[in-house]
Amino acid sequence: MNFAASKWHESINKEVVLKSIEASCIAFESFKNVSRATRSELLNKIALGIELKRNELRDALISEAKKPYLLSDIEINRAINTFKIASEEVKRFGGDVIPMDTDYSSKDYHPAISQWFPRGPVLAIAPYNFPLNLVAHKVAPALAVGASVIIKPPPQAPKASEILTQIFQAAIRDLKESVDVNVIQVISPTNEDLSIAFDDARITTLSFTGSDSVGWYLKSKNIKKKVILELGGNAAVVICNDADLKRAALRCAIGAFAYAGQVCISVQRIFVEEAVMPQFTELFIEEVKKLKVGDANLKDVVVGPVINLSACTKIMTYIDEAITSGAKLIYGGKNTDLLIEPTVLLNVKNNQKLFREEVFGPVAFINTFKTFDEAINMVNDSRFGLQAGVFTNNQKLVDLAFNKIQTGAVIINDTPTFRADHAPYGGIKESGEGREGVRYTMEEYSERKTLIRWREQ
């Protein structure tokens, strides 16, 4: 039975989830033996299919996720690239040969072979803010290692997953080897009905991107599964006095406010060395004023509406609380329906939600520091640890930042909003565990098996 084209917004229940799991297990048993050549060709064909469906995908991202036209096109480009990267990685992802004669006790054995094998079916749960590329980051590595995947798309934006599934179904038609249509399925049950998949040992891997509270709850319920968590953050940027302030201001404006800040690595906390605080702030506000705010359908809009009223209310509450506690509003701070102005504040206290939590909206604040050690402590004063940015040309400070900042990545002379789809990506502390980035997810989806053979004398 093919569940890939299910109308997931209709009557999905536990029985349907169970049948989907069974179909995924059957698909896995055949797909894990499909050649790397076929898997590589399949991934390339999906990349081509995404390009052919660009207009349809863009419309879905704009209408459902409220992602501006320009940023929707960027997401589509990245998804294409993600599948292309996977098509290349599948040819290199094999294992290791380990010499055994490095010790006298094992010198009579052939070199060992350590090889990657897919764990089993993957359950992929994706968020609304990147409903295509974050799904691609879960699906492409699964196809690359030979694993089946069940996608639970974001309820706010399920259409991209439906289109991606259609692209997959078209891509498997003319392959030299047969690929089960249920290698990719999309279902959208309630959380209660989906719980059957958490309890089912046949689903060996859970990949979740979303809020930290939900992610860690799922981790606690899936102790025996491999769990990859990509969770939230309140990303920080450090601006040193030797920085290229104009570039820093431009990159921080885009990093904080593109897509209304609805990115887990959006710039939220900006720490600026005292000597350059006035100059940076002036340049930053100039760049913020240049950002087009408005209808996501317009090609020049960078800051569109937030996803819903609940999000808007939370963001405005965070702003109001910070101002009431003494922060100074220097730009923005107002909303019209779901459109919130890019908002900049000064001197937010570290006990405020705007400092401690993930705002997930078009809000950033600027605080000052005197010493680089103080700046590092301010960055680390967070339960999150996803990515951080540091603007400096001082190699000593670069080394200190890399060694002392408690995040999964440190970006030098750019903002933490930067991500390369082939590089390892993920957080520490409450920002998650495991790594995405195509090859690194392939490792997460696989387990090593080692062959050691005695050498006959």
The reply to whether 230 belongs to the active site is yes
Strand partners, 410: 388
> What is the rounded radius of gyration, in angstroms, for the C-alpha atoms of the chain?
23
Exposure class string for 365-387: b at 16+ Cβ within 10 A, else e: bbbbbeebeebbebbeebebbbb
3-class secondary structure, 288: helix
Q: How many CB atoms lie within 10 A of CB 278?
A: 10
Q: Which residue in 230, 341, 358, 430 is the catalytic one?
A: 230
Q: How many CB atoms lie within 10 A of CB 329?
A: 16
Tell me the H-state helices in 106-158. 133-145
For the chain, report the end-to-end CA distance as a whole number of angstroms.
54
Query: Among candidates 274, 252, 259, which has minimal Cα distance to 390?
Result: 252
Q: How many CB atoms lie within 10 A of CB 455?
A: 11
The set of long-range contacts for 69-77, using a CB threshold of 8 Å and a minimum separation of 24, is: 69/296, 69/297, 69/298, 69/299, 69/301, 70/299, 70/300, 70/301, 70/302, 71/258, 71/259, 71/302, 72/296, 75/130, 75/132, 75/133, 76/50, 76/51, 76/132
Strands (E), 36-154: 95-98, 112-118, 122-125, 149-152
Q: Which residue in 41, 64, 240, 264 is the catalytic one?
A: 264
Angle of helix 69-92 relative to helix 133-145, nearest 10 degrees, comes to 10
Query: Among candidates 389, 424, 376, which has minimal Cα distance to 230?
Result: 424
The reply to whether 357 belongs to the active site is no
Catalytic residues: 230, 264
